[in-house]
Amino acid sequence: MHEYLTQAIILDREPQGELDARVTFWSRKFGKMRGRATSLRKITSKLSAHLEPGMLSEVRLVENKNIQVVDALKLRRLAVSYADLPRLARLLEHSEPDEELWQAIAAEKWSWSAVLGALGWHPQEAACVLCGRRPEAFSVASQEFFCELCASKLPADTLIYIHNAAV
């Protein structure tokens, strides 16, 4: 049995059983992980507010066969929107910590351009894959950049707008 203490960005939580939940988070030391939080959905749960998606929290984990979240303390809410969290979760790899990426995600001023740059996709060096113009959006599914005109032809829920353009 191992115990870990790390800062983590809460990406998602889904019900598991009647009172428990499975929490997906990206930790500074261990990368993307999933852990079970027992009784998280109880009305009297002390952990619930600390494990909300979009929170930067200090979490204590116990690993036996599975990972169990045993304690958490929220540090602050991140500047990332709730709608961007699933897109971010799709881009992050399990068990791959990255300090540069951590700094981009946990920054006071959230920027998809900085996050994509830390992941190796540099928007300032890219061009629209269809017409060659300046990119305004990034497709998570195809991992390609698109200008505003070409992006308008694609489903909006699959795109990340990198220059804070309106969706």
pTM of the model: 0.88
Query: Quick one: pLDDT at residue 157?
Result: 86
Boundary of a domain, candidates 30, 51, 77? 77
Q: Is the residue at 166 inside a domain?
A: no
One domain, residues 70 and 102: no
Sign of CA dihedral 33, 36, 39, 42: positive
CA angle 11, 139, 55 (to 5 degrees): 15
Boundary of a domain, candidates 77, 110, 140? 77
One domain, residues 90 and 157: yes
Q: Which residues make beta-bridge pairs with 95?
A: none
Query: Quick one: pLDDT at residue 158?
Result: 87
Q: Is the residue at 35 inside a domain?
A: yes
Q: Which contacts (CB < 8 Å, 24+ apart) does range 86-89 have?
A: 86/11, 86/12, 87/140, 87/160, 88/11, 88/115, 89/11, 89/12, 89/24, 89/26, 89/32
Dist CA 140 CA 135 (whole Å): 14
Dist CA 159 CA 91 (whole Å): 12
One domain, residues 70 and 127: no
Domain containing residue 23: 2-77
CATH number of the domain to which 64 belongs = 2.40.50.140
Query: Quick one: pLDDT at residue 163?
Result: 74
Query: Quick one: pLDDT at residue 110?
Result: 87
Boundary of a domain, candidates 22, 47, 77? 77
Query: Quick one: pLDDT at residue 165?
Result: 40
Domain count, the chain: 2
Select from 66, 78, 77 the least CA-distant residue to 33.
66
Strands 31-37 and 20-27 turn out to be antiparallel
Select from 108, 7, 13, 92 the least CA-distant residue to 52.
13
- Using 50 as the pLDDT threshold, list the residues of the chain that sit under it: 165-167
One domain, residues 146 and 99: yes
Q: Is the residue at 167 inside a domain?
A: no
Beta strands in 38-97 (DSSP E): 55-63, 67-77
With contact defined as beta carbons under 8 Å apart, do 147 and 133 qualify? Answer: yes
One domain, residues 73 and 139: no
Query: Quick one: pLDDT at residue 164?
Result: 52
Query: Quick one: pLDDT at residue 166?
Result: 38
One domain, residues 72 and 94: no
